[in-house]
Amino acid sequence: MIYICPVCGKPLERADSAYKCENRHSFDIARSGYVNLLLSKHIGKTVHGDNKLMVRARREFLEKGYYSPLRDALCEEVKARFSGDILLDAGCGEGYYTTAVAGTLNDKNIYGCDISKIAVELAAKRDPSVNYFAGSVFHLPVADASCDMLVTMFAPYCGTEFSRVLRSGGKMLIAIPSTEHLWEMKEILYDNPYKNEVKPYELEGFTFLGSRHLKYKTTLQGADDIMSLFAMTPYYYRTGAEQSERLKVLDELEITADFELLAYSRPQ
């Protein structure tokens, strides 16, 4: 078990239906199987993770298979680069990618963390074999050098924490949108659409191992799928009602899915 107490930093041990540390701090395990290790002081003032709308939209969209090529590419990278016993998905959402990784590494210890308790609860119900917990990636309740691999799929990046929890030589996989991701959607929403900016790959404290570019076209079938994709993107809250209506009237939309999977190692 890699959990540490978010209050005092001591190791957590399971005792019946809770995790407890030597200082008697206790954290109950929910019926769905996850444990809430998120302290109120670690929650941002304005962002508390994905809300019910975004979580539901992402689950419904991903289950249709539109991003399955990315899921499969991630599993291939994990299988090729993983060694050890423990993998942490930092920012796991409702567990779509975590479940696939757990199936790839079916004899390993898989953990999933997200700041959204709504998402983590759904993830725990999806796959009880994964150790899910609510927590912030900026204050991971995880022991130093306890993880052999860390995966983060479009989640916030915290290099200090990721470096701390990875063992020496541990691997990290990061998924990011590339330059033309969802270009067609942005053409409809905005009068002056812009391509995504991809920052330099080098990250302080890590050795860059390589990138895998995945780009393909897929056609969204029906207004529900179009709006589910829209609702799971940052554009949903940055776009006015008039622009949003441009999507609502569509029954079909071809989009470009454009991703990059970046691989890193924590130096020995």
Q: Helices then strands (H, E): number in the chain?
A: 8, 11
In a domain, 29, yes or no: no
Tokens 């074999």 -> residue = 129
The half-sphere exposure of 252 on its side-chain side, counting CA atoms within 13 A, is 3
**Does position 173 have pLDDT exceeding 70, yes or no?**
yes
Q: For 96-123, what is each residue's pLDDT tens digit? A: 999 999 999 988 999 999 999 999 999 9
263 vs 77: CA distance, rounded Å: 8
259 vs 180: CA distance, rounded Å: 9
In a domain, 26, yes or no: no
Say if CB 85 and CB 102 are below 8 A apart.
no
Q: For 53-86, what is each residue's pLDDT tens digit? A: 888 888 999 999 999 999 999 999 999 999 999 9
In a domain, 198, yes or no: yes
pLDDT band at 124; cut points 50, 70, 90 = very high
User: What is the CA angle 181-264-44, rounded to 5?
Assistant: 65
**pLDDT score for 143:** 98
173 vs 166: CA distance, rounded Å: 12
**pLDDT score for 234:** 85
96 vs 242: CA distance, rounded Å: 32
Say if CB 127 and CB 148 are below 8 A apart.
no
Averaged pLDDT, 119-142: 95
In a domain, 1, yes or no: no
**Domain of 183?**
34-265
In a domain, 158, yes or no: yes
In a domain, 24, yes or no: no
> Domain holding 74: CATH number?
3.40.50.150
In a domain, 5, yes or no: no
198 vs 22: CA distance, rounded Å: 45
**pLDDT score for 241:** 85
- How many domains does the structure of the chain reveal? 1
90 vs 113: CA distance, rounded Å: 5
In a domain, 27, yes or no: no
